Every structure is written in structure tokens, then in C-alpha cells.
Chain A
């Protein structure tokens, strides 16, 4: 019955943000490197760790109320 239904609980929503967040961050970091503001991707890569960490932390803290599926 729940087949094909997407879970809309908070955790699953946040979880879905991981991919886009990582892609956007990588894009922004490389862009900053191209803009010659004095930074390069190789200076800024730890920002990526922070973003991944923040999403994972949000996932762990988010409520799973109403979670559908296993």
C-alpha cells in the first residue's frame, strides 16, 4: 500500500539534501578558485567536510515521526 509513496518525515527530507548540498558546495568552492579571490579549492576543501557533517548532524537530530517504509 505504501509502495511508491515517498517518506515525508524530517529525517528523510534532510537526507535527500545531502547530494545537492555536496554538489553545490563543490561547485561554489571551485568557482571561488576561478574568481581569484586569493583562495583555491585546495585551501577551502575542509568546508566540504563541514557541510557533510552539518547535514549528517541535522539527520541525526531530525525527528522520524511519520516515517514510512523500513
Chain B
């Protein structure tokens, strides 16, 4: 027997196999962060907080794979846990925590690319000649990089003030860069378009547009802020990385955002905010207010003439009239002074309602529910939660029919002695079916793990 080729001069001793752990983990992380950067909509800190044990399981599974793969090929199995692996796990946690933490501070996306090449920004200002504009015409404004500010004026004309900023080694180069970018005003049917042309990412173009008071505005600033104040028409604003602020708009207001805060104060029409971002503030709206998307909060909606709606990944709230305010911040939902009905489905939130006079329907999964009434309730109330307490505070003169069930908890009906006597307990589960007064709304309360309390208000 002879081998077809000469054996290597150095006899290779079986080499230790490498673990697949780091490779697979890094690819996974890359995909996760890419998804986060482009689609977003989830909270990395919460993800980490909830799913970190999967990291250990995954670690173990890859080691198991290594072991069997090594046995199959006759190699020496990789060491079970190496310093590199431990470093990588800490690296993963630190990375997720810091990216998630950056989200919380709301700074993501506002990072200035120029900061890596710290050149002086040079600014150049100019103003386009004023041109006549019909009082109620639509105006579309867009800049790829830079802020948009819309200011109403009494004259029926359009003015555009332009501020270009360019980062470059010298003023000459900056001027050359800035001169390449122009701002054009054109007509598109009824609408007037104001937009930047051949704008590179290095030239920032801030636009201040003066429009007739009754104009309707559409503004698009993917890398900048949008401020609109005091126009009588409708406002539609789309920003990706900056904030949106619309004050004193006469018509409907729409705002789409991907990172950043939205403030809409004083609006004569409906307000609709969608996307992802940080803080949301909506106040003094004549029509309806809708907030739909994932926002870190706090989210406040106050004084809405018609209904308010808030939809997020884990919450769906409809308030038919909101004279007071609604606030959602981490783990809390609060509604005060709503002279209408409230329908709420949520999870992992402590819910608190004060002075809601309409029908109330609340479904919570994990979290407490607290209802306070300053007037005796007139409409039916239905509250259920899986793990959490339910607390009701009612005026002494209230009349109602109550059906309460705490599957693994107590019922404390200190509202009246008569009611307290009607609480029955069987195997850790408590029930209360009772009636106060001859006529009154139905109150249904349910929790699985938690207590139910009925109090009398002072």
C-alpha cells in the first residue's frame, strides 16, 4: 500500500476546534441592531431585560453543537468557556444597554456626521425675492438636511429665507459647496413647491418660509426640525430625525416622525401623530386627537374637543371626550376629567382614572387599576386585570350594583358594612355580589392575582 502523495513533513496534530458561538452571536447582533436602526419600534432595554436568559441558553446550545461537531470530525472540542466568550457576552449586554440607553435620552439619529471630521461650519444666508401668493394656497416645503420654520404673515406673498451651512476646511471650499445647492420655488397645479436641489449631505439648508396666514402647509425635513406656528390652514409635517412643533393651526394637523418629539398645541381641526419617537404633547384640540405608534413618552394629550385615541404596541385607548388630560409614561396610564366613555385594553401598565363620567371598560393584563369618582357613577363600569389590584373610590351617596371577583386575593368592601358582609371566600378566592340603593349602574371588577378594594371618598 502506498499513499498517492507524500505525507506532509510536519505531522499535524489534531487541532482544537473553534467555537461557533462568537460568529453566530455577532451576526445575530448585527441583524438586531440593523433592524433597530431602520425599523425601530422596540425598546432594546426592555428586550434585554426580558430576554437576557436566552443569551445563556444560546451560549449553552452552541457549546453543545461544538462538542458534537468536534466528536464527529475527530477534532479536540473547543474549551467550554473562554475569556473571549465571557468578554463577548458582556460586550453584547453593554452594547444593547448603551444603544437602548441612547434611545431613552432621545438623542439617537441626531448625531451629526460632521462631528467625525470636525471642520468649522460656514454659514451663508440669502433671501429669495418675495412673490405674490393666493391667501389660501397650499405650500409644500422640503429640505433633505436642515430645519423648516413656517411663519404666517398678513401680506399675500411668499418669502423664503435660506441659511446654508457647509463644513469644509476653508471658507472658499464651503462657499463652493454651498453654491452648488439651490432652492427652487415652483408651481405644481394649485400648490407652490419650495425645495432644495442637488443638496449633498454636507450642506445644511435651513428654510424660513413666510406664508399668507390662511395657507396650508406640507413640510418634509428628514434630517431636521419642523416648526409651524399660526397658520389657519392644515399642516402636514414629516420629519425623521428631528422634532416637530405645530402651534396654533387652524385646520387639521398631521405629523409623521421616526426619532424625535412632537408638540401640537392649539389646533382647530383633528390632530394625528404617527410613527416612532420620544415625547408627544397634544393640547387644546377642537377635533379629534390620535396618537398611533411607539413613543418612549411621556405622552400627554390634554383638552380635546372630540375624542382622543392612543394606540401603541400594548395599549389601545379610546376616550370619547377629554376635557382634562391623558398621560402615558413608563408603566403608567393616567386619565383625568373625561366627560365621556373610556375604553382601554393594555398590558403592563398601572392605570389610573379620575373623574370619568361615562361608561368605563378596562382590560389590563399585568398592572393595577385605580378609579376615583368625584360624582356618583351613572354608567356601567367593567374592569379586569390578571395580576394587579383593582381599587375604586366612590362618593358616599353612590348607588350601584357590584359583582367583584378576586380569584387569588381578598376583597375589601369598606365602602359600607352592608357590602362588607356580602363578601364570600372559598379556597383563597373572594366574591362580592351586592347592591347599594335601588337603582344604579353595574360595576364588574375582576382580578386573578390581586386584591379588590372599594372605598368611600372623603
Partners in one complex: yes
From known contacts A11-B18, A33-B113, A68-B8, infer whether A57 and B34 are also in contact, taking CB-CB under 8 Å.
no
A45 and B33 contacting across the interface, CB-CB below 8 Å:
yes
Contact of A50 among B9, B31, B75, B201 (CB under 8 A): B31
Contact of A49 among B9, B12, B18, B27 (CB under 8 A): B27
| Residues of A2-61 whose CB lies within 8 A of B | 2, 11, 33-34, 36, 38, 40-61
From known contacts A34-B201, A66-B8, infer whether A46 and B30 are also in contact, taking CB-CB under 8 Å.
yes
A60 and B10 contacting across the interface, CB-CB below 8 Å:
no
Closest A residue to B95 by beta carbon equals: A49
Number of A-B residue pairs, CB cutoff 8 Å, is 93
A49 and B33 contacting across the interface, CB-CB below 8 Å:
yes
Q: What chain A residues lie within 8 Å of B38 (beta carbons)?
A: 43
B27 and A50 contacting across the interface, CB-CB below 8 Å:
yes
Closest B residue to A5 by beta carbon equals: B10
A57 and B33 contacting across the interface, CB-CB below 8 Å:
no
- Bound Cα distance from A33 to B111, whole angstroms: 13
Q: What chain A residues lie within 8 Å of B385 (beta carbons)?
A: none
B222 close to A (CB within 8 Å): yes
B128 close to A (CB within 8 Å): no
Cβ of B384 to closest chain A Cβ, rounded Å: 41
| Residues of B1-43 whose CB lies within 8 A of A | 8-10, 12, 15, 17-20, 22-34, 36-38
Chain A interface extent, by class: 35 or more
B20 and A43 contacting across the interface, CB-CB below 8 Å:
no
B31 and A46 contacting across the interface, CB-CB below 8 Å:
yes
B293 close to A (CB within 8 Å): no
- Bound Cα distance from A65 to B15, whole angstroms: 9
A40 and B113 contacting across the interface, CB-CB below 8 Å:
yes
Q: What chain A residues lie within 8 Å of B9 (beta carbons)?
A: 1-2
- A residues contacting B by CB (< 8 A) are 1-2, 11, 33-34, 36, 38, 40-61, 64-69
Nearest 9 pairs of A and B residues by beta carbon: A53-B26, A57-B23, A50-B30, A46-B33, A49-B30, A53-B27, A56-B23, A36-B201, A60-B18
